[in-house]
Amino acid sequence: MRIEIVQLYPAEMNIYGDHGNAQVLRARAELYGIEVVTRSYEVGCDASMLEGADLLLGGGGQDAGQAGVADDLGRVAACLRERAEAGVPMLMVCGMYQLFGRWFKTVEGAELGGIGVFDATTTGGTSRLIGNAVVDTDWGRLVGYENHSGLTSLGAGQAGFGRVVQGAGNNGRDGVEGARAGNVIGTYLHGPLLPKNPRLADALLRVAVARGSSGRSNVQLTSLDDDAPVLAPRDDAAAGVLARWDDLAARAGAAAAARPR
């Protein structure tokens, strides 16, 4: 079994250690006996790289980097929307979450077009929403760190990623964090998100593997009890390492959740 993970714009959109998400997926996949190829899609790359991806990741960046990325993203928007429709799992954090919405209006008034995978709009704010955050999702209670000035609002029919237990979430008002469209997740949670939240990491891997082994058909990323194949550690040693990582993740998550904003 082999899957391809593509990181979107890691040169511009990686500011909060988000590439840790790719590292965690790669390391866990290896222990599940899955071969992983990781590729970086940068501004100007060929869209064919996106067509071959089994899993897509995106991170946060500086406002300055986001404008250049938004232009390039527009060029491959149709391809990404088609991949999202086809059920390719994606995790888009912070700046890339914003650009997966319909538009992002900066505090200076400039408008960046998004690719509209989510029915979400973002308006730049004058203060930052910063701090440890706890969110209840279909994959349990997740712990992360948010740091954004953009305020995101979801359209009436747009599902969120989770409910805020602690922190600000999309806008500090409606208690919703992130967005979800099929197997595509958008969120403000970094930290990075996946190291301390291995259930979500494994859910993304399960769907990537299920799509891969079924000729890349449409497999929805549902909830904890979904019908995607259960990942099995390749041997006892791998099972031991995973158990150790998950124990450390639980302890690190508990420590983070108990800290001040």
Partner 1 sequence: MGRMRATLVSLVGRGVASATRLRGGHGSALPGLVVERLDPHFLRDLLGRLPLGCAVISGTNGKTTTTRLVTQLLEAAGLSVFTNPSGSNFTRGVVSAALPQLRRGRLDADIAVLELDEAHAVHFVHQIAPRYALLLNVLRDQLDRFGEIDNTARLLGQVAAGASGAVVLNADDPRIARFATGVRPGVDVSWFGIGEGLRGQFPTDEGLYAPDRQTGASPDAPERITLSALDGAEATYRIGDREYPARLSLYGPHNALNGAAALALTRAILGPRFDPAAQVEALSHVTAAFGRGEVFRLGGRDLRLTLVKNPSGFRLALAGADPSAPTLIAVNDEIADGRDVSWLWDVDFAPLAGCPSVATTGVRGYDMALRCEYDGIPVASTEPDPLVALDRFLAAAPTGPVQVFSTYTAMLVLRARLKQLADGGAR
Residue 83 lies near partner 1 (rule: CB under 8 A): no
Residue 211 lies near partner 1 (rule: CB under 8 A): no
The count of C-alpha atoms lying within 13 angstroms of the C-alpha of 216, restricted to the half-sphere facing its C-beta, is 15
3-state secondary structure of 114: coil
Return d(Cα 133, Cα 257) in angstroms, integer. 7
Among the listed residues 145, 176, 201, 205, the single contact to partner 1 using CB under 8 A: 145
Q: Could you tell me which residues come within 8 angstroms of residue 48 by beta carbon, excluding any fewer than 6 positions away?
A: none
Q: Could you tell me which residues come within 8 angstroms of residue 91 by beta carbon, excluding any fewer than 6 positions away?
A: 21, 55, 56, 57, 58, 185, 187, 193, 194, 200, 204
Residue 195 lies near partner 1 (rule: CB under 8 A): yes
Q: Does 190 qualify as catalytic in the annotation?
A: yes
Q: Do 151 and 159 touch, CB atoms closer than 8 A?
A: no
Return d(Cα 213, Cα 28) in angstroms, integer. 18
- Minimum distance between the CB of residue 253 and partner 1, rounded to whole angstroms? 8
Residue 141 lies near partner 1 (rule: CB under 8 A): no
Residue 249 lies near partner 1 (rule: CB under 8 A): yes
Among the listed residues 83, 190, 206, 211, the single contact to partner 1 using CB under 8 A: 190
Q: Which of residues 2-21 bind partner 1 (CB under 8 A)?
A: 10-11, 14-20
Nearer to partner 1, 87 or 150 (CB): 150
Q: Could you tell me which residues come within 8 angstroms of residue 22 by beta carbon, excluding any fewer than 6 positions away?
A: 5, 7, 38, 57
- Minimum distance between the CB of residue 100 and partner 1, rounded to whole angstroms? 20
Nearer to partner 1, 51 or 246 (CB): 246
Q: Does 45 qualify as catalytic in the annotation?
A: no
Q: Which of residues 24-53 bind partner 1 (CB under 8 A)?
A: 24, 27, 40
Q: Do 72 and 43 touch, CB atoms closer than 8 A?
A: yes
> Which residues in this chain contact partner 1 in the complex, by CB under 8 A?
10-11, 14-20, 23-24, 27, 40, 62-64, 128, 130-132, 145, 147, 149, 190-192, 195-196, 241, 244-245, 248-249, 251-252, 255-256, 259-261
Catalytic residues: 94, 190
